Amino acid sequence: MIYTWPSPAKINLFLYVTGIRPDKYHEIQTLFQFLNYGDTLKIIPNKTGKIQLFTKKKILINENNSIISSAELLKEKALSYGKISTFHYGAKIFLNKKIPIGSGLGGGSSNAATTLVVLNKLWNTQFTLQELASFSLKIGTDIPGFILGKTAVIEGIGNILHPIKRHKKWYLVVYPNIQISTENMFSSPFLMSNTSKKSLKKLLMLPFTNDFEKIAKKKFIEIKQLILMLSSHAPSRMTGTGSCVFSEFNDKRSAQKIFSLLPKNMQGFIAKSVNISPLHKTLYKRQHLFLN
């Protein structure tokens, strides 16, 4: 039987850039919140040695796609660690894409994490989640958060995670049809990269902000106007380094009311926050599939 696997979206409830390391990687502090919304992947393992990606968004089918990169990385690590003995491990992967590209919702990183976690089961390569998270940094710094699958304050270059539990909220997430490159945001001359590092307790007590929001508002008047408009109804800000803006509500009805006020040409959705990734909930329900 072929199963569909969640590849959930996230929002950054806060995001601060606290420094730059000698290797040019930026150090951050962020609060990583999963949503019950996202892409889905169908992953069919085989022994062809090929990783094949299928999706309606043809622009995504290239060797740099995070799904292909993560599958090839898993195979490479499995061979080097003696988990598998041949290059014949392959897979057909079907992506149903709902998370907008360049939106700050972590779609590419989430796709990579789902690929790594599920293929690790299907290929029986038997890496721990911590091992998968460690070598996933080669592809992207958001990926460990998706692999470990819990609401968390994340520090360093994405490699230090402090799982926490938060009261569940409803979020209205709006995509202003703008793709923003993460690389361009981190290389912006307007990024100060020196927000003071704070303790976990202080981070959670202070008002939440995003160091990239000022940069985005300077460059894109649409984002500035969207944040201004949504902020008149509920706490609202940009997520990650992308263009999506979210508003926080205590109940779904309040989120729906504000959603109805948006211009018809704006894309958006309403989702509930979850403390455990939908991927991990699904893995738990299907754990019997992987018992030897």
Bind-site residues for ATP: 100-110
Amino acid (1-letter code) at residue 234: A
Return d(Cα 243, Cα 92) in angstroms, integer. Answer: 31
Q: At 258, which helix (H) or strand (E)?
A: helix 252-259
Tokens in use for 68?
Answer: 């292909």
| 54 and 92 Cβ atoms separated by less than 8 Å | yes
The CA-CA-CA angle for residues 67, 68, 70, to 5°, reads 65
Contacts of 241 (CB under 8 A, 6+ apart): 15, 104, 180, 182, 185, 186, 212
Q: Which residues are catalytic?
A: 10, 142
Q: Which helix (H) or strand (E) holds 245?
A: strand 245-249
SS3 content of the chain, % helix, strand, coil (to 5): 35, 30, 40
Angle 152-154-160 (CA atoms, 0-180°, nearest 5)?
110
Distance CA 182, CA 272 (A): 25
